[in-house]
Chains A and B, each alone.
Chain A
């Protein structure tokens, strides 16, 4: 490809005919291509003849915004997240759009287009490019089947979804529990009653949401401390499933619940969590879009800081960014924006029962750790998307019921199965510190240590690669 039309006003939005083999990019409001911009765009579209469009990182008033790979869900919350976009003229003709149409990115989603990201600054702008407005997003929501209304979000140019209250699909909540008491969590400041079971608190909060169309399946084993029948009458439609005798396998327990569930939407939930009102609907609303295979939530520690807001993968290590950050601080890096991610935690994970069964559900190969990441990769590989919805919030006393430790055999199995899966939503400029002692201090990965241009375009394909470890693998 040799031709890149640069358009700067709606008047020159259709610079060519449908037979043009070039691409067009809208650089209205004094935007301009960077030194490598034109070459990188043309090279990307030449290398990937199946791609419809390409975008890159952007510099606005001298500040570089590094971007993630294509995320249709992110566009619902932040429609300017991949502008400006260079689109093939043939694709524009098919869509009946011009390069200056602010809703062009949404049309590309509806068209199931292949859009590439080049992790390098391709253009510079004095102000953010004009993007789709709330009306565009609402008509897009109707088009893709999401029963929600978009409203203004926490920052200019950001939106959030308000699920339609008349659409509350039935959900089965699956909770494996050992019946441990909150008193065992010595650091928990909210544990007012030491003898109260974590699962009791969990069920109380579910009941308090007042959401109809819920079924709760408790998976209990012989290790359960107390009488599970006592909690099976917590004002919710609860079913008890007895785990077969033997060593506890979290994945097998979840699978037992998935098999027993009567609803198509299933929510895997740890018993040491407390759902906030609206969390179930905020997650469930995304399943109107058939491309969605898994939805995660924003999990807080009892002190209100972030425990989980989607995961990243760095050198084969699945990591939680924003750990210990306030929710407000995470806004700068899009922590509060619904978006595609490589994985979410299994502590609160919604999916389709039929899809989970087709994929073998949670892998019993990973009885304790990695089972959630493995499941998300399987979902991604099946052609479905995994997203995090930070509007769905809950408290999680992380690993209060077990020691947060990854054994060597778990790591070996993980590397054996997946090797190193590059994370398309994690910018190559970001790297965790190569310090085995600081692996858990991974909240600072979102500042580049050695910024450079990476001109290889990337899509959202998930594929295992040979793992080349940078440092010791122990997550201490």
Chain B
């Protein structure tokens, strides 16, 4: 993959005294600027997409919590649990 970015150690073409090199660098920076705008749009959509998925996951987690609570309530009402609790209470009274 060709090197695209100026490394801290390497020479920065913007310091060049060669007009051709400078003009080429100006073109590169103009292109980079347009590319970044477009990239930002794509990222914006990806972010919105991730937020939507996040909200969907949040909503699924909430649904699971509700189900879990309902299950606990249901378990509390079951005859076996009620008998077990009654036995435990009587044992404590002794």
Interface residues as binary, B14-38 with A (CB distance below 8 Å gives 1, 0 otherwise): 0000001101100111111111001
Q: Which residues of B contact A262 (CB under 8 A)?
A: none
Chain B count of residues within 8 A CB distance of the other chain: 23
Known: A259-B20, A417-B38, A466-B46. A361 touches B31 (CB 8 A): yes
Asked if A212 is at the interface of the complex by the 8 Å CB criterion, the answer is no
Once the chains bind, are A464 and B34 in contact (CB under 8 Å)? Answer: no
Q: How far does the alpha carbon of A361 sit from the alpha carbon of B30 in the complex, in Å?
A: 8
Q: Which residues of B contact A244 (CB under 8 A)?
A: 21
User: Which of A256, A359, A365, A419 touches B45 (beta carbons < 8 Å)?
Assistant: A419
Q: How far does the alpha carbon of A378 sit from the alpha carbon of B29 in the complex, in Å?
A: 14
User: Which of B23, B31, B42 touches A259 (beta carbons < 8 Å)?
Assistant: B23
- Nearest chain A residue, comparing its CB with the CB of B39: A417
Known: A256-B24, A259-B20. A378 touches B41 (CB 8 A): no
Interface residues as binary, A215-255 with B (CB distance below 8 Å gives 1, 0 otherwise): 00000000000000000000000000000100101001001
Known: A259-B20, A259-B23, A259-B24. A363 touches B31 (CB 8 A): yes
Chain A count of residues within 8 A CB distance of the other chain: 29
Asked if A357 is at the interface of the complex by the 8 Å CB criterion, the answer is yes
Asked if B4 is at the interface of the complex by the 8 Å CB criterion, the answer is yes
- In residues 408-466 of chain A, which contact B (Cβ within 8 Å)? 409, 416-419, 463-466
Once the chains bind, are A466 and B49 in contact (CB under 8 Å)? Answer: yes
Q: Smallest CB–CB gap between A363 and chain B, Å?
A: 5
Q: How far does the alpha carbon of A61 sit from the alpha carbon of B20 in the complex, in Å?
A: 61
Q: Smallest CB–CB gap between B47 and chain A, Å?
A: 9
Q: Which residues of B contact A359 (CB under 8 A)?
A: 30-31, 34
Interface residues as binary, A338-378 with B (CB distance below 8 Å gives 1, 0 otherwise): 00000000000000000001111101110100000000011
Q: Which residues of A contact B11 (CB under 8 A)?
A: none
Asked if A39 is at the interface of the complex by the 8 Å CB criterion, the answer is no
Once the chains bind, are A360 and B2 in contact (CB under 8 Å)? Answer: no
- Interface centre among A255, A256, A364, by most chain B C-beta atoms within 10 angstroms, is A364
Once the chains bind, are A465 and B31 in contact (CB under 8 Å)? Answer: no
Q: Smallest CB–CB gap between A466 and chain B, Å?
A: 4
Q: Smallest CB–CB gap between A352 and chain B, Å?
A: 15
- In residues 29-64 of chain B, which contact A (Cβ within 8 Å)? 29-35, 38-39, 41-42, 45-46, 49
Once the chains bind, are B42 and A365 in contact (CB under 8 Å)? Answer: no
Asked if B6 is at the interface of the complex by the 8 Å CB criterion, the answer is no
Asked if A381 is at the interface of the complex by the 8 Å CB criterion, the answer is yes
Q: Smallest CB–CB gap between A385 and chain B, Å?
A: 17
Q: How far does the alpha carbon of A252 sit from the alpha carbon of B33 in the complex, in Å?
A: 17
Q: Which residues of A contact B41 (CB under 8 A)?
A: 419, 463-465
Q: Smallest CB–CB gap between A172 and chain B, Å?
A: 16
Enumerate 26 A-B pairs (CB-CB under 8 Å) in ascending A order: A244-B21, A249-B2, A256-B24, A259-B24, A357-B30, A359-B34, A360-B27, A360-B29, A360-B30, A360-B33, A360-B34, A365-B35, A377-B38, A409-B1, A416-B42, A417-B42, A418-B38, A419-B42, A419-B45, A464-B38, A464-B39, A464-B41, A466-B45, A466-B46, A466-B49, A467-B42
Apart from A360-B27, A465-B42, list 16 A-B contacts with CB within 8 A.
Answer: A247-B2, A255-B27, A256-B24, A357-B30, A358-B30, A363-B31, A365-B31, A365-B35, A367-B2, A416-B39, A416-B42, A417-B39, A419-B42, A463-B41, A466-B42, A466-B49
